[in-house]
């Protein structure tokens, strides 16, 4: 039987290398570096069914109390409709799912641009 390990937070971000440094800095600023489950997935919450499966594993195994969803501008996985509204809708769908499987989790939906990170 394995010992239960608790992650401070669950992080979900895109594979896009251009935004990694910004995400890294944000995690550092939030004092979360090295204390999170991190999922790097093309398009983040656009691929909802797969991202649901991956995030559920994190919640079941490491019971994070907070989640950070990092959507980003100019995402190749989005193709033509890269609007902030579409990113917001997808991030909120993932947020709803996480809150359904763990009602007490605090979910932050964020949008990364080369100018910085804002809440969406």
Binding site for Zn ion (CB under 5 A): 14, 16, 75
- Nearest approach, Cβ of 16 to Zn ion (angstroms)? 4
CB closer to Zn ion, 61 vs 77: 77
Please give the distance of CA 61 from its chain centroid, rounded to a whole number. Answer: 17
- Nearest approach, Cβ of 80 to Zn ion (angstroms)? 14
- Nearest approach, Cβ of 59 to Zn ion (angstroms)? 23
CB closer to Zn ion, 16 vs 37: 16
- Please give the Cα distance from 105 to 51 (Å, whole number): 17
Per DSSP, the three-state class of 15 is coil
CB closer to Zn ion, 19 vs 107: 19
- Nearest approach, Cβ of 68 to Zn ion (angstroms)? 16
CB closer to Zn ion, 12 vs 98: 12
DSSP string for residues in 34-92 = TSEEEEE-TTGGGSHHHHHHHHHHHHHHH--SEEEEEEESS-GGGTT---HHHHHHHHH
């Amino acid at each position: 039987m394995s010992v239960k390990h608790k992650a401070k937070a669950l992080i979900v971000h895109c594979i896009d290398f251009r935004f990694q440094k910004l995400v890294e800095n944000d995690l550092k600023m939030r004092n979360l570096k090295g204390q999170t489950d991190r999922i790097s997935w093309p398009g983040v919450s656009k691929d909802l069914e797969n991202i649901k499966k991956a995030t559920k594993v994190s919640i079941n195994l490491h019971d994070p109390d907070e989640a950070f969803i990092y959507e980003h501008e100019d995402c190749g996985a989005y193709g033509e409709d890269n609007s902030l509204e579409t990113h917001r809708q997808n991030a909120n769908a993932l947020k709803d799912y996480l809150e359904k499987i763990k009602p007490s989790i605090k979910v932050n939906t964020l949008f990364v641009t080369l100018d910085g990170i804002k809440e969406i």
